[in-house]
Structure formats: C-alpha cells, structure tokens
C-alpha cells in the first residue's frame, strides 16, 4: 500500500462535496437531536445485541436511557467500521475524541450532544461542515412533502407498498390516499399515477425498492391482476404464487409510471426480511447468497427506456451487476449496500466496475443514512476505499503493458464523475 | 506488502500458544508413528492422485510402502500450501530440510521419521515444541474416552450418526450403545442423553456436525419423527424428504441436549460427500457454491440460548456467515474450513470479520488435523495471513479518516483474542 | 505493490511465446483487414451500446462506416481494460498512439489500418511480432479444414450443435454433413464419428462446448435417446426436460468419442444466452451466479480417462473449479473466461490455483480472440496479473513460516509451465 499516494488522493477526494443518492433521512428534522438518536441506528443496537445479548430490546423511547444502556456495550464493537463512523461523528461534530467514549462518561457525552445537536441551526451547520449539496430521501406515498426544500432534498418513492402488497391494511392505506376503494386494476393504476404526480410536483428523484432475494419479473396481464385483486377484495388469502404474480405486476406498473414520467427506478436487490427472531428493530434482516439478476431480465428488457440504478446486497451478485452494467445500457451500478457496505467488498467491486463498465455509468456511493450526521463518516469510508483503488490504478498504469499513465488528475476526474457528475446526470437532478 | 511489519507481527503471533478448537486427532496416539502416517493424510494422497492418477489407490496399510510410492509424486505438488505444511513438519520435527525430499531419498526420510516419531515421549516433545495448550477432538458416541487427559484434550461429539441416520447399521450401533433397541422417539432422546452424559463426564467441548450443502432446519413434531422411526424399524426405505425430516428432527434433538448441558453446537456447513468416484479415502468430497445459511434460521432462532460456532466450506457463504455473526448473538464465525482453508480465501474472510463482527465473537482458526504434527504448520499458515491483515490494518489506520491509530499492541491483543481468549470463553473450556 | 519486481517479472514473461488454447480465429483470414474489423468485436460494440444506447445496431456490413460511427463513443469507454486492448493494437500494430484516437480523426485511423492490415504478408508479420506459436481454433463440424496449416493452427470441435440440438435446421445440417437423414441413435453416433475423423485428420485439439448455466450430466439409455429422436423426426416439440435429456445424452456421446480418439473435452461452463434484448450481435449473453459444478459429476466420473480442461464464467464457480482441479485428476482449470476475464477476478483465481492445484495442471490463459490482433493485448493483460501474483509470492516466501524462498527463476519456471508446457502437454499438441 502506497500510503503517501493514497493519502494525497483521499485528501483531494474528501474535498469534493457530497451528493447522496439514497438516504432514509426525515426531511422535517434531518439531523439527530442527541447522541441517543445516533445510537438508536440499527448498526449500534444490532452489534451491541450481537456482542452482548439483550433479546433485541433497548429503551428506544428514551434516548437518554438508551445512551446509558448502550454505552457499556460499545467497547465490544470498537473494532468495527460502524464504530468508526460513530467516532467520526463524535470527533467532527461533538468535538469529543475517542478517549471520551467509556461507559461511565455517558452523561457527559449525552449533555454535550444536546448542546450541539439540539441548538437551532445545527442542521445547517452540519450541512455546511459536511459539505452536503444534495440528499435523496426515501418516502412513503403518503408522506407529507409540503414545504420540502427541493434545492437540497430530493424525494424518492418507496414502491414496496405497491408491489409486496398482500394485506388489507396496506390496501386500505393506498385506498385512503387515492380517496376511494381500490377494487380494479384501473384503481391501482390511478393510485400509482396520483403518487407519481405528487412526487413529481416535489422534484421526484426516482422510484425505489428493496427487493426480496430471488424476486422474478415477468409479464402479467391485467385480467390476471384483476383476478388477484378480486380475491383480495373478497378477503381470500394469496399464496406464494399469487404474491409473486402481483409482485411482477406491481413492478411493471411502477416501471410504466417511471417511463411516463422519465424517472429512474432504483433497484436494491436481495434482502431476506425478518429472519433473525431476536433482533433489534431493523436488525432482523439478512440476505441470501443464492441469488441471481436473471429474475430481472424481463423488466430490464421491456423497460429499455427506463434507467435502473441498481444496488445488490450479496457479494455473490457483484459480478453479475458489473456484467449487467457492462452490456445493458440501462443498468447503472449504484453504491455498496448494507452487508456489502464494508471495506473488503467495496474494494473488490470498485475495481471490477472501474475496469469494465463505462465510467459514465458508475454511481459511486450512497450513505443509506437515517440522520444527516451519518453521511460524512460513511462517505469517508467509501472515499478511502476509492482512493486505495485509484492509487493502485495509478501505480499499475506506470508499468502496465496495455495502460496509459493514469495520472492524479485522471484519478480525481474519475472520482468526481463517480461521486458527483454521474449521479446528477443519471438522475437528472442537477 | 510491508514485509518488515508483517514479519514483526508474525513473529509475535507465532509465540502465542496454540488452542485448537477442532481436530480429528486420535487421543490414544496423538502423534504420527512415522512419515507414512503423515503422508497418508488425504491432502497428500488426493493431490498426488490428482497430479499423477493412480485410481485413488495407495498402500494405506503399509506406511513404509506408502512413503516409497508417494515420494516421486510429491514434486508435482511442491507449489501447494499443503506441501509447505509437510516441509514445516520435516524441518521442525525431523530436522530434514527441503533438499532431502527427493524420490530416491525416501528410505532416509522413512528411517529418520521412525527415529523421531516412534520414540517414547515424542508426543510430549512435540506438544512442547509446538506449544499446544488445548486440543479439541472429534469423537464418535461410542469412542472410548476412559483415561482421557481432560487438561489437554477436549472431546467433541460427532452428531452425524444421529442426524444423517438412515440405515439399519447406524441404528444398531446406537441401539448397542443405548443397551436396548431404539424404536421410539423417547429411545432416541435417551441415546442422545446417554451420549451427552458420557461426554460431559469427560469435559465435553461441544456437539459438532459437518453438514451437507443445502441442509434445512425446521420444526418436526415427535409424532412425525415417530412415524419415520416406525417405518425404519419395519425396514421401509426413507426417501429424500423423509431423510430431510429426520435430519431436522435429529438436529433439534441435539440442540435440545446442547441447551440442557450448556454446550455449544459447532456447525460446519456445506459439504457434498462422495462426489468424486476415483478419489482416495477422504478425498472424494467437494462442495456446492449454491448454498445459503437461510436453511439454519429455524435452529439458530429457536435455540437462541445455544451458541453456534460456525464454519462454512464455500467461499460463496463467507459473507453470509459474516453477516450472520454481525447481527445474530449466537453465531460465531469459526476458522476457515477445508477448501476455504488456503491463503486467498482466509485473507478475504479475516478482513471481513475483523471489520464488522464484534471482536469477542471471532474464533480465529482450527487445524482440522488428524495428527498433532499438523497443528503447527496449519496454524502458521493462518497466523501469517492474520499478520498480513493486521499489518494492513495498522498501515491503513495511520491515514484512514474514520480510524484511530491501530497499534502493534492493538494488533497483538486482537490476535490473542481470536486465537486464545475467544475460543476459550465461547467454549467455556479454560 | 512492488512495481520494480512486478515489472522485472512481467518483462521476462512477456518474452515467452504465446500458445493460445482457445480462440475464434477464422484460419482462412486470421488477421483483420482493417480497424473496422477490430471495432466490430462485440466488446467495443456492446460497451459503446451500453455507454450511449443505439438499440444494438451498428453498420456491421460496412467497416468504414462502423469505424466512423463508433469512434465518438470510444471516449466513453476509455477507462476499460477492453479499450486498453485496442490501444495496444493501435500502438503495436498501427503505430498510432492514444492521442490519435479522437472522433474527428477516424478517417486517418481507417486509412492507416488499411495500409497495415490489408497488405500481403500482414498476417505473417503479426504472428512474428506477437510471437504466436500455436493457435487453437473453434470450428463447426462442417467447417472447411482443407489446407489448414496444422503446424500453427489446431482445430477444435464446437459440440453445441450435437448437444443443444433441438431444432429441425440443426438436424438437417448434421444430416447433410453425414450424407443421410439422422433418424436413429446409430446415425447420431455416425455423425459424431465422421466429425471426429475429419477433425483428427487435421490435427484435432479437443472437443469444446460453452455450456448453459445449471447444465446437468447423467446417464441416458440409447432407448430413451431414440424415443426423443423419433419424436423430433415426427416434428413433435421437445420440452425443457426432453432438451435436458438429449443434452446429457449428446455430451456423453461426445465424451465417448473423446475417449476413443484420446482427445480432451474443453468445458466452458455457465453462460445464459440471449438475455439482453437490445444488445449487439454476441453482446446479449450474461451468466448466472447461481451455478454449481455438481452438474458435471457424472461426466467427470464416468469419463475418468478423458481430460477436461475447464473454464467457468461466474466468479461464484471459481473456488469450485479450483477444488475440482485439486482432487479430480481429469479437471484442468483453464484460463479466465469472458466476464471473469478482467484483472480483479483473474487476480483472485490465479492465486487460488497456484496455492492448491498441482502446478502441472494449470492452463494459464487463452485469448478467446476473433482476430489474431487481439491475442497479444489479451495475453499481456493476463501476463501482468500473473506477474503481480508471482511477485507477491516471491515477497511472501521470504518471510513465510512454511514456504521456501520462491525465486525469480522459480517464478519464471511456473509461468512457463502455465503458459507453454502445461497446455502443450495436456492437449498433446507440441
């Protein structure tokens, strides 16, 4: 490892502003109100629960108490990249070094966090300090978007409710949003349309979905969808095949709407929900290594005029995604998701993508953050791996028989494309 | 590669005593009696058979002849990590350098090996020289454990006979051990109980099983198991579904016993037995890249109060194991098994685990050795990869934007946890 | 990265002549006639189509126009390893540096390419310059092989028509070749025999097949094959199971012929054909990460006396291939195919193979080239990764506790085995 070169590259990349194409930030608050909010992020509760089992329970309603309870467990996860995110938050935003993080000091940290995070203007200070220029959100169809600052926030539509739609409560929610019962395919199209119109009026980024492992897309006739709808309205339960059929139908409907409104559809492929029975909230999901993108051939081919930024959860789908982006014009590899969002797997995928996918198609990273505080440390983790990959490429290029010299300027231009220019061009959100 | 730093780290890690949580050592002998025993290890016979085909046959009954026959083939596998284990055994224990290993010299090597390995006290010398402090065994339910030195050896129960239990001979063996025919679920529970009581009386480490690819766990009612048992007693053959049902039932029974006796259950996931028709004994098994840990959700969730150290055979299950250990409190990634027990795959998995799994949950390595002589060279192979990973982490930490300086002391403390403290704490065998 | 050492190694390896065990070169022409031929290679058209969508259409019939159309798109793929191949062709063979490659300069490049490539003797100059000593071809059963220079070219039989044989046109082609209708299993054997005899008369290398993901091999009785044949002759359509049965039967027939003629069977495992609907010709195929070599157990076991050089398309099958070559005497890992033929995945697989497979079984690389011009740049890409792996092994060996010093001479000997000696010995084509 050429530490001097990596460091020089990193420092230049770190200066670049942050354009974050996928977060779960709540735009009405944006930042955390205290360190308890930060520690409630599932990474800390799940790792703490994993290291020192507490049946998945923490005092989530009481951030002060949560802080007190979780602090003694943090020493057990101090080796993790996730703990390092927390340390950057502490150092950069709270002015507290690592040495402050011992169990008995929890109240000092708590008080300091209130002082910083609970003051008016903290969000704006944070945005300036972290140099955040654009934050994409993940929104439910009925989220309140009135007053959204579309110069900074970009709403994106969670499409799970339309696609994994198999219970009465979900249907009633959508009916309420539509303003009438959903009993026909036409009604379903209407609620999709109404949703897209609402989102378009607020600067919609894209439709998005985190998709179960081994999802399959295929053509579903309206009549077949109507039959499923009739049975659902009558209260008949759907079996696995029915759910798969509706899933394919629902995804096609959303893709139709993306086409109509010229919006991308961001796929996040491969999660297994609710498999760990004793986990913390949002800490019960895993993934399946047995998963292929072959299930997406139909939707990617049929909606050839829709762009599909795509993230995959399993390392075993990494080369499939690279190959898809290599030949498919409408697939854009996007970031490094969840269990693949750690140095080892980022390092491999970055190299693969840079070597064989047209550079203009690469969306470098997204933070997946729940509070704006997490955007900076997560991007730093990625930027460091990117700097390592680019430094290696610079060194290799000097002696590689086929390559031209890959200069520092070339490296920084590629980083800027991946981090800023490509995501802005692909989403059309400048 | 920072060779100075790696070397400095390696030398410190090499000093640490060896605590080996999984071997196939025969406690009554422990060490080999001659070089023929060493060369009979399937790694040498299978690689020799692969490089220079001999229909899987070698003179296994005659270690002197085996030595003579296999020696000329060893030059063909001199590039392998497995050959390097042999060279360490030769250099460290026999005092013979690599240059001694040519075909015509087989008798010199044979004689020298007798001189060293066949003398009284060799086992104790070896244990002292290799600094072995604890050896876990793999034992059949009816193995003789009387006289076992529980200050050094820890017996672990092979549970395959209870779970993959589909032929009459296996049932008769268990019946003989129980002292009465096994015809009811209660009888089956009784033989499991009797086995655990026997093992607990001899300092039981854990229950263990090497599990076929794509095994699935689920609830099986006693009545369903009884129906299978009735049919087996009547001599009816089981089909694939019956075997799967009994497999799930048997694993649940063993997990129940683990719970009752507060013992871990060590899972070794993903082998395909007997797929190569022309292999040497123990050299006919491979694995399936299409394999997921999803099949274990039931047993891991239901037996939340049982600890599951877990090894996986396929590289494609590596991130699944890392993710499972990251959120599941009772999954502990354990070592690097068989086809994944080589530098490339160890290197990747070590980095993944160190980055995202709480450090106290990591069981660094086990040797899987059949003779005590193999423990040292195999651990050295691992310790070298660990030193590489830790050196890289030290270097990265100096310039990483989120990390604290990871010092030599930090690195050695982590290595000690992975190699000594964690396995002792997780198994409860001090 | 030790750039000095890598460079020193690379330069020595680069001097070695090129023995290329798999190409798609047309022996009657061999080299390209102009730069349009080069640019028509699917890597350039598919990447251009991916970067700047043109519905998979290019003026393939007009190489001059193709050059003009594709040139402006090349800047979009300048980061790729595939573009680097093109640059080596330009620099080494056309004497044009990278700076010549801008859209407006297309006619200059076109003219220069005609000047070089269209002159008499270009093919021989190219062969001398690139130091090509042996080129294996991929031939259809009815290819004209009369006049083939068997001192340089080795024909290999594409066996897809025999195995994926489910339409009338394919049957008629084979019948025409045989000289009578194929209506019985005996007829089918006869056409296989006639094909092998023809190829053997022209210095046959091996039989080969690129195989769909999740292909399975098993015993098929002649009567079952005859029933399928009867139905095909009557014009009945085959379903998926019928095709799978014929596939297994056909592969067994070819393996029988390989046995009879002492020729290897080169397997290329894991492609999904025609999955991208808007791709360029030869740019519509992908692969499936969910794929196992378990499907080949039958053929590898039954034809134990046939050698199977084997390439895999998916990264997820990489360790399966390594493990198969480790224990199976008749499996030889061969090169790095297609989507796995890029630096990241070559690097991992080279290290795995060198560490645990007997060195004499490793077939380093093949170019898969359509024109002889591509052989050099592709081999250079591989040779560079090989140099990196060998340099790392040299460095590691100096401090590794089990390894002997791995010297420059050792490294070059291993490279020569992988690139020259092994492929010549395994194919028997000196």
- Tokens 């923490």 belong to which residue? A58
Asked whether the beta carbons of residue C339 and residue A326 sit closer than 8 angstroms, the reply is: yes
**Cα distance between residue C143 and residue C131, in whole Å:** 27
Inter-residue contact C312 to C345 (CB < 8 Å): no
Query: Residue B308: beta bridge partners?
Result: B331
Which residues on C lie below 8 Å from B88 (Cβ)?
Answer: 401-402
Cβ–Cβ below 8 Å for A402 and C277: no
Answer whether residue A135 shows pLDDT above 80: yes
Chains touching chain C, criterion 3+ CB pairs below 8 Å: A, B
Whether the predicted pLDDT of A316 surpasses 90: yes
- Reference A285, options A48, A42, A61, A26; nearest CA is A42
Q: Which of B217, B226, B215 lies closest to B256 in space, CA to CA?
A: B217
Q: Please list the residues that pair with A309 across neighbouring strands.
A: A332
Partner-chain contact B50 C326, CB within 8 Å: yes
User: Are C206 and C311 within 8 A, CB to CB?
Assistant: no
**Cβ of C339 and A322 within 8 Å?**
yes
Q: Which positions ≥6 away from C197 have C-beta within 8 Å?
A: none
**Residue ranges with strand state E in C213-371:** 265-272, 286-287, 308-312, 331-333
Distance of CA C341 to the CA centre of its chain: 10
Rounded to 5 degrees, φ, ψ at C20 are -115, 105
Q: How confident is the model at residue B430 (pLDDT cuts 50, 70, 90)?
A: confident
Report the SS3 class of residue B262.
coil
What is the interface size between A and C, counted as CB pairs within 8 Å?
A: 135
b (16+ CB within 10 A) / e for B146-174: eebeeeebbbbbbbbbbbbbbeeeebebb
Residue in B with minimal Cα distance to A292: B290
Q: Do A51 and B351 touch (CB under 8 A)?
A: no
Residue B375: both structure tokens together? 């423990």
3-state secondary structure chain A: CCHHHHHHHHHHHHHCCEEECCCCCCCCCCCCCCHHHHHCCHHHHHHHHHHCCCCCCCCCCCHHHHHHHHHHHHHHHCCCHHHHHHHHHHHHHHCCCHHHCCHHHHHHHHHHHHHHHCCCCHHHHHHHHHCEEEEECCECCCCCCCCCCCCCEECCEECHHHHCCCCHHHHHHHHHHHCCCCCCHHHHHHHHHHHHHHHHCCCCCCEEEEEECCCCCCCCCHHHHHHHHHHHHCCCCCCHHHHHHHHHHHHHHHHHHHHHHCCCEEEEEEEECCCCCCCCCCCCCEECCCCCHHHHHHHHHHCCCCCEEEEECCHHHHHHHHHHHHHCCCEEEECCCHHHCCHHHHHHHHHHHHHHCCHHHCECCCCCCCCHHHHHHHHHHHHHHHHHHHHHHHHHHHHCCCCCCCCHHHHHHHHHHHHHHHHHHHHCCC
From C50, C276, C278, residue closest to A358, measured CB to CB: C50
Shortest Cα distance, chain C CAs vs residue B77, angstroms: 5
Which residues on B lie below 8 Å from A384 (Cβ)?
396, 400-402
Average of per-residue pLDDT across C170-179: 94
CB pairs under 8 A between A and B: 135
Inter-chain touch A46–B326, beta carbons under 8 Å = yes
Mean per-residue pLDDT, A353-378: 98
Q: Residue B389: name the closest of C327, C242, A347 by CA.
A: A347
pLDDT tens digits for A202-223?
Answer: 999 999 999 999 999 999 999 9
**Beta carbons of C399 and B7 less than 8 Å apart:** yes
| Closest residue in chain B to residue C214, using alpha carbons only | B290
8 A C-beta contact, residue A198 and residue A148: no
pLDDT digit string (tens) for C322-375?
Answer: 999 999 999 999 999 999 999 999 999 999 999 999 999 999 999 999 999 999
Per the CB < 8 Å rule, is C384 touching A392? no
Q: How many other β-carbons are positioned within 10 Å of the β-carbon of residue B407?
A: 11
Query: Would you call B315 and C317 a contact, using CB atoms and an 8 Å cutoff?
Result: no
Q: Do B294 and A278 touch (CB under 8 A)?
A: no
Residue A248 and residue A220: Cα distance in Å, rounded?
7
Q: How far apart are the first and last CA of chain B?
A: 36
Share of chain C above pLDDT 90, in %: 97
Q: Which two tokens stand for residue A378?
A: 């997560």
**Which tokens belong to A131?**
């140099």
* Residue in C97, C283, C284, C316 to test binding to A, most A beta-carbons within 10 Å: C316
Give start and end residues of each alpha helix (H) in C262-374.
Answer: 297-302, 318-327, 343-356
pLDDT-based confidence at residue A104 (cuts at 50, 70, 90) = very high
Percent of chain C clearing pLDDT 70 (strictly above): 100
| Average pLDDT of the residues in B322-350 | 98
CA distance, residue C1 to nearest chain B CA (Å)? 7
For position C1, what pLDDT does the model report?
86
Percentage, residues of chain B above pLDDT 90: 97
The model's confidence at residue A368, banded by pLDDT at 50, 70 and 90, is: very high
Q: Are A77 and A46 in contact (CB under 8 A)?
A: no
What is the average pLDDT across C401-420? 98
pLDDT at position A407 over 90: yes
Whether the pLDDT of residue A166 is over 80: the answer is no
Helices B240-261 & B185-200 angle (0-180, nearest 10): 40
Pick from B313, B314, B328, B406 the residue to mutate for testing the A interface (most A CBs within 10 Å). Answer: B328
Closest residue in chain B to residue C351, using alpha carbons only: B344
Cα gap C430→C420, rounded to integer Å: 9
Q: Supply the ipTM of this predicted assembly.
A: 0.97
Residue found under tokens 């060198």:
C354
Residue of chain B with shortest Cα separation from A9? B399
The closest of B133, B255, B132, B139 to B189, measured between CA atoms, is: B255
Q: Do A399 and C3 touch (CB under 8 A)?
A: yes
Residue B18: strand pairing partners: B132
Average pLDDT over chain B, rounded to an integer: 97
What are C122's two structure tokens? Answer: 């270009």
Contact B323 A339 (CB under 8 A): yes
Kindly determine whether residue C327 and residue B276, on different chains, have CB atoms separated by under 8 Å: yes
C152 to each of C13, C23, C378, how far by Cα in Å? 21, 13, 19
Predicted pLDDT at C166: 73
Contact A79, B359 (CB under 8 A): yes
Q: Is residue A162 within 8 Å of residue A258, measured between CB atoms?
A: no
Rounded to whole angstroms, the Cα distance separating A109 from A119 reads 15
- Give me the count of residues in chain A: 430
Dihedrals phi, psi of B139, to nearest 5 degrees: -120, 145
Are the beta carbons of B77 and B47 closer than 8 angstroms?
A: yes
Alpha carbon distance C329, C308 (integer Å):
9
Which of A355, A399, A404 has its CB closest to that of C81? A355
Distance CA C393, CA A78 (A): 33
Q: What is the pLDDT of residue C209?
A: 97
Tell whether the model's pLDDT for residue B205 goes beyond 80. Answer: yes
Judged against a pLDDT cut of 90, whether residue A178 lies above it is answered with: yes
**Cβ–Cβ under 8 Å, residues A80 and A87:** no
Q: Which of A247-251, B129-133, B162-166 has the lowest mean pLDDT?
A: B162-166
Which of C323, C329, C404 has its CB closest to that of B49? Answer: C329
Q: Which residues contact A179 (CB under 8 A, 6 or more apart)?
A: none
Total count of residues recorded for chain B: 430
Whether A339 sits inside 8 A of B330 (CB atoms) is: no
- Residue B372's pLDDT band, with cuts at 50, 70 and 90, is very high
Chain B contact probe: residue of A41, A50, A91, A347 with most B CBs at under 10 A = A50
| Residue pair B427/B154 in contact by the 8 Å Cβ criterion | yes
Please, which pLDDT band fits residue A168 given cuts at 50, 70 and 90?
Answer: confident
pLDDT at C169 over 90: no
A263, A291, C53, C214, C325 from B316: Cα distances, Å: 35, 11, 34, 16, 18
Cα of C108 to nearest chain B Cα, Å: 45
Contact check, Cβ <8 Å, A340/B319: yes
Task: Name which of C76, C83, C54 is nearest A417 in CA terms.
Answer: C76
CA dist., res. A386 & res. B342, Å (int): 27
pLDDT at residue B167, as a whole number: 79
If phi > 0 it is left, if psi is from -120 to 50 it is alpha, else beta; for residue A135 that is beta
Query: Cα A53 from chain centroid?
Result: 27
Closest alpha carbon within chain A to B388: A1
The answer to whether the CB atoms of A327 and C49 lie below 8 A apart is: yes
Nearest CA distance, C275 vs chain A (angstrom): 6
- Residue A334 CA to residue A210 CA, distance in Å, equals 13
Residue with token string 């005593």? B17
Chain B contact probe: residue of A41, A70, A131, A290 with most B CBs at under 10 A: A290
Closest Cβ opposite residue A403 in set C1, C84, C279? C84
Of A317, A352, A399, the CB nearest to C289: A317
pLDDT at B165: 81
- Taking CB atoms and an 8 Å limit, are B82 and C356 in contact across chains? yes
Chain A residues with CB-CB distance to B2 below 8 A: 1
Residue A1 binned pLDDT confidence (cut-offs 50, 70, 90): confident
Question: Which residues contact residue B170 at a Cβ distance below 8 angstroms, ignoring those fewer than 6 apart?
Answer: B161
Give the SS3 label for residue C18. strand
A1, A53, A283 member nearest B395 (Cβ): A1
Strand boundaries in C187-318, DSSP class E: 207-212, 265-272, 286-287, 308-312
């Amino acid at each position: 490892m050429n530490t001097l070169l990596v460091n020089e590259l990193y420092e230049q990349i770190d200066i670049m502003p942050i354009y974050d194409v996928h977060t779960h930030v709540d735009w009405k608050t944006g930042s955390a109100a205290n360190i308890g909010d930060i520690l409630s992020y599932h990474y800390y509760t799940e790792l703490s629960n994993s290291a020192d089992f507490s049946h998945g329970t923490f005092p989530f309603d009481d951030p002060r108490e949560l802080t007190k309870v979780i602090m003694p467990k943090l020493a057990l996860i101090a080796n993790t990249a996730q703990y390092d995110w927390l340390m950057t938050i502490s150092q950069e935003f709270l002015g507290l070094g690592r040495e402050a993080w011992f169990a008995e000091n929890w109240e000092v940290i708590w008080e300091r966090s209130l002082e910083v995070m609970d003051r008016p203007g903290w969000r704006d200070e944070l945005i300036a300090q972290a140099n955040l220029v654009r934050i994409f959100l993940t929104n439910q169809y009925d989220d309140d978007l009135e007053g959204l600052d579309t110069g900074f926030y970009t709403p994106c539509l969670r499409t799970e409710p339309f696609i994994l739609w198999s219970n009465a409560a979900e249907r009633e929610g959508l009916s309420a949003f539509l303003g009438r019962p959903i009993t026909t395919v036409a009604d379903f199209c209407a609620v999709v349309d109404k949703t897209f119109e609402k989102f378009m009026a607020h600067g919609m980024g894209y439709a998005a979905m985190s998709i179960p492992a081994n999802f399959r897309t295929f053509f579903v006739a309206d009549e077949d969808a109507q039959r499923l709808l009739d049975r659902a309205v009558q209260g008949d339960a759907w079996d696995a095949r029915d759910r798969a059929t509706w899933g394919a139908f629902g995804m096609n409907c959303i893709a139709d709407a993306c086409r109509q409104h010229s919006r991308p559809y961001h796929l996040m492929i491969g999660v297994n929900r609710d498999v760990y029975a004793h986990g913390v909230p949002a800490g019960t999901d895993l993934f399946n290594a047995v998963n292929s993108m072959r299930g997406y051939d139909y939707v990617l081919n049929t909606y050839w005029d829709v762009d599909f930024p795509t993230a995959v959860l399993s390392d075993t789908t990494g080369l499939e995604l690279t190959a898809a982006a290599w030949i498919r014009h409408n697939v854009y590899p996007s970031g490094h998701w969840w269990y693949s969002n750690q140095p080892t797997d980022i390092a491999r995928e970055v190299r693969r993508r840079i070597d064989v996918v047209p550079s203009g198609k690469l969306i470098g990273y997204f933070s997946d953050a729940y509070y704006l505080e997490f955007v900076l440390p997560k991007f730093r983790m990625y930027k460091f791996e990117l700097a390592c990959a680019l430094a290696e490429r610079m060194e290799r290029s000097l002696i590689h028989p086929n390559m031209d010299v890959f200069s520092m300027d070339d490296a920084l231009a590629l980083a800027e494309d991946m981090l800023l220019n490509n995501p802005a061009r692909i989403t059309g959100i400048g």
